[in-house]
Structure 1
Amino acid sequence: MRFFLGVLGFLLFGLATCLAYYLLSIGKFSGAEFTAFVVAFAVLGMVIGYAPEVQEISIAGNVVKLKEVKAEALKAIDSLNKSRVEMLRVFLGLALKHAGGFGSSSPIDPRAHEFWKLLAQIKEYDCLNELKSEVMVSVKVLLVAQLWNIAHRNKDERIIITEPLLDPFDLAAIAFDVKGIEAAEAASSPTPQNYKGEIKEALAEYSKLYELKIQLEK
């Protein structure tokens, strides 16, 4: 970093000197202006090159304390990050609330879509560690919801909605059992069009959520 800043400062000084010489040659600068311009950029180049060690600079008689400015900037960034984490925490809680009414007949819980969008933002902002417990709560709620969706389409008593939650492979072996599906179809009015297809969708979403649960528990 120090080397990079040194090279940057040197290049800036070199470019400024060339520009000053050009302006002097075409009569836009007097000798005094040329000197002042070059000296100013020489100082600026040194400030850039030694930025980590520079405590303050004086511009037109005004002292700018660089470390204080940096500290304030870092404080503002930290405050912004904390606010963003709290905002995402609130959104996760809101995403778990049902829209109301009699619910959805979709094989995938409608709250899952919003949850995956929020999870993508959480990962993008690199704050999964801060929100890990809240994300885990959301995952478990949605896993249970997916189990209910599957149990609604297969009346097999082995589909239990208690801890520990069923492994996706074990659940799949039960969820596609013909007798359980026929029992669900018989109990439904009107008869569903494609329970097997809906179970496949619900199970795929359950598997995604279960995999995320395993990752969070590591």
Structure 2
Amino acid sequence: MIEAIWVDEAVTGLRPDFKVLVIAAYGLRNGPSDDHSRRWLAEAADLAPQPGDEKIVAWQDAYRAFGAKPQRTRPSVDALVRRMPPPDINLVVDAYNSVSIRHVLPIGGEDLRHYEGTARLVRASGDEPFDVIEKGEPAVDHPEIGEVVWRDDRGITCRRWNWRQCVRTRITEDTVDALFLLERLAPMTLEELSTAGDELAGLLREISPDVRIESRLVGPPERAADPG
């Protein structure tokens, strides 16, 4: 599945430094938060950056590039580090949220069994469906034209790059197969991105020792250094 994931040139044209480390985990045994997952979050909270961290600023700039206002709809990692102590949700979500905080890295988690077709990061046409809950009831929203969105064949899975996930693909305690999207912009190095991916894989193996994990780096090729 991860071999088919792609990022549109209309997105990388906004930020040529964008890369996403895609991790698929098969055979998870998720469950409610426990003392271990709460410890992961607490340890990450001790390392939480200030809202003006340069990695957060990079994401705020990326949002402005497609017309979003990052003070109104914050990049996911910006919103997360402002919620200290972070909420515990379930084992798998606690795992990737702890890595997100520790590395100041947006990470999305998706239930693969609720996906339809290939995940791809594109700029929206404006008519794609986005499943939400409004006033306790299922509803359908739509993106703005040109908004950066993750989507599959059925509709949008995450709006405004990494701002808000749809209801359909969110990870629950029943999730068995999951997709994780670790989204990098400079100044984060590719080495740190790889380290974050290894940390997430390690936590997933603590949750489910028999889990099968695949990973792939997606994004434009690195530019050659200027010889000066």
- The TM-score by the shorter chain falls in which range? under 0.3
Task: Name the larger-Rg structure.
Answer: 1
* Larger relative strand fraction: 2
- Taking CA–CA contacts closer than 8 Å with sequence separation of 6 or more, which of the two structures ends up with the larger relative contact order? 2
